[in-house]
Amino acid sequence: MGNVQPTLLRRFMPLIIFSVLVIFLAVGLTLNPREVPSPLIGKPAPEFELPLLLQEGSFSNKDLIGHVTLVNVWASWCFACRQEHETIKYLSRQGVRIIGLNYKDEASDAKQWLAKLGNPYQAIAADRDGRIAIDWGVYGAPETFLIDQQGIIRHKVIGPLSDQAKFDALMTVMETLNK
C-alpha cells in the first residue's frame, strides 16, 4: 500500500512539471511586453515647469493640486493620439480636467493639429525636447496619467484611451477618487 503512492507520483511527475511549465508560459503570453508598469504610481507627480503651448505663461506640478486631473501625453506626429482624440474630447465634455503634455513636437504642427481636430485640453504644457517626459517615465505617446487632488499619480494608461479595456480600467480608478 505504501509503495503505490510514490510510484504513482513518479509516473505523473513529468506531467505535473509539464503542466506547471504550460501555466507559466500561458500567463507569459497574455502579458504585453510593451506595457511597462510605472514605478511612479502612488508617488507625487514629478516637479516641473513648462511653457504653455497656446498662451503666455507656464504650467507646473503645483497646478495639479486640488483637482482630479488627467495628464495626456500627445504629439501631432503620433498616430495613436489621433485615434484616442475622440475619447479625450468625450471625457472633456463629461467635465474631466485634462491637461495636455505636448511631447517633442513643433509648436506650429501642434497648433495646426488642434485647430483641425479640436482642443479638449484645459491647458497644454509644451515639452519641446522631451526632458520633462523622461521624469514622468514616458517612453512613447500617447500615455495618460491620472492625478488625484493631492497631486499623487494614481494610474497610468499606456497607448490610446480608445481601447475599451484601458478606458474601463481608468474609469474604475477615477470613480474611487471622485467620491
Q: What's the closest the beta carbon of residue 137 comes to another protein, in angstroms? A: 4
**Binding residue (CB under 8 A) for another protein from 139, 169, 171, 172:** 139
Give the bridge partners for 72, in sequence order: 100, 144
23 near another protein, rule: CB under 8 A: no
* Separation between Cα atoms, residue 21 and residue 130, nearest integer Å: 42
How many residues in the shown chain lie near another protein by CB under 8 A? Answer: 17
38 near another protein, rule: CB under 8 A: yes
Residues between 58 and 117 that touch another protein (CB under 8 A)? 104
* Separation between Cα atoms, residue 151 and residue 136, nearest integer Å: 13
Q: What's the closest the beta carbon of residue 154 comes to another protein, in angstroms? A: 17
Q: What's the closest the beta carbon of residue 41 comes to another protein, in angstroms? A: 10
Q: Which run of H or of E encompasses 51?
A: strand 49-51
Q: Which is closer to another protein, CB of 30 or CB of 94? A: 30
44 near another protein, rule: CB under 8 A: no
Q: What's the closest the beta carbon of residue 73 comes to another protein, in angstroms? A: 12
Nearest alpha carbon to residue 91 among 2, 33, 160, 9 = 160
Check residue 122 and report its DSSP letter: S
Q: Which of these segments, 93-101, 110-118, 131-139, 171-179, binds another protein (CB under 8 A)?
A: 131-139
- The residues, any chain, with a CB within 8 Å of residue 38's CB and separated by 6 or more, are 137, 153, 156
* Alpha carbon of residue 60 to chain centroid: 19
Q: How many CB atoms lie within 10 A of CB 8?
A: 10
Name the one residue in this structure whose C-alpha cell is 507559466. 24
Q: Which of these segments, 34-42, 56-64, 113-121, 166-174, binds another protein (CB under 8 A)?
A: 34-42
Which residues of the chain form contacts with another protein (CB under 8 A)?
A: 33-34, 36-40, 104, 129-131, 134-137, 139-140
